[in-house]
Amino acid sequence: MLSLIKLPRVFTINQVPKVFHEDSIISGYRHPRSSATDCILSLFQLTNETLNIWTHFLPTWYFLGKLLMVLLMQDVWEDSFTWPLLVFLVSCCVYPLASSCAHTFSSMSTRARHVCFFFDYGALSLYSLGSAVTYSAYVIPDKWVKSTFHQYFLFFAVINTVVCTCLACYSRLGLTFLQSNHDSVKRFTESPKFGKGFRIIAFAYPYMFDNIPLFYRIFLCTGESCTTNDTNPLHLRHIALAFLTAFLFATHLPERLAPGSFDYIGHSHQLFHVCGIIGTHFQMEAIEQDMMARRDWLLTHSLPITFANTMGAALMCVVLSLLIIFLFSLPLWSSAQGRKICDNDMKSCCHS
Summarised one tens digit per residue, pLDDT across range 217-276 is: 999 988 777 887 889 999 999 999 999 999 999 999 999 999 999 999 999 999 999 999
- Look up residue 28 and give its DSSP letter: E
Percent of the chain whose pLDDT exceeds 90:
77
How high is the pLDDT of residue 266?
96
Is residue 210 a contact partner of residue 135, using CB atoms and an 8 Å limit? Answer: yes
H/E stretch holding 12:
strand 11-12
Indicate the helix (H) or strand (E) that contains 333: helix 313-334
Interval 24-36 mean pLDDT: 96
pLDDT score for 333: 77
Please report which helix (H) or strand (E) contains residue 194, including its range: helix 192-210
Backbone angles phi, psi at 226, to 5 degrees: -105, 5
Q: What is the pLDDT of residue 239?
A: 97
pLDDT of 93: 98
Average confidence (pLDDT) over 123-144: 97
What's phi and psi for 145, nearest 5 deg? -60, 130
pLDDT for position 351: 45
Confidence of residue 283 (pLDDT cuts 50, 70, 90): very high
Q: Return the minimum-mean-pLDDT range out of 113-117, 173-177, 204-208, 267-271.
A: 173-177
What pTM did the predictor assign?
0.91
* Residues ≥6 apart with Cβ < 8 Å to 243: none
Q: Angle at Cα 70 formed by Cα 66 and Cα 74, nearest 5°? A: 165
CA 78 vs. chain centroid, Å, equals: 31
* Torsion sign over Cα 86, 90, 93, 99: negative
Residue 177 has pLDDT above 70, yes or no: no
What average pLDDT does this structure show over 17-41?
Answer: 94
Tell me which of 298 and 76 has the higher pLDDT: 298
- The reported pLDDT for the residue numbered 8 is 87
The burial of 257, by beta-carbon neighbours within 10 Å (0-12 exposed, 13-18 middle, 19 or more buried), is given as exposed
Q: How confident is the model at residue 173 (pLDDT cuts 50, 70, 90)?
A: confident
Say what the pLDDT of residue 352 is.
41
195 pLDDT band, cuts 50/70/90, is confident
Which one has a higher pLDDT value, 154 or 332?
A: 154
Highest mean pLDDT: which range of 46-60, 217-231, 319-333:
46-60
Q: End-to-end distance of the chain based on CA atoms, in angstroms?
A: 24
Q: Using an 8 Å Cβ cutoff, are 137 and 292 in contact?
A: no
Kindly state the average pLDDT of the residues 320-336: 86
Mean pLDDT of the chain: 89
pLDDT value at position 187?
41
| 133: CB partners within 8 A, 6+ apart | 84, 87, 88, 154, 157, 309, 310, 313, 314
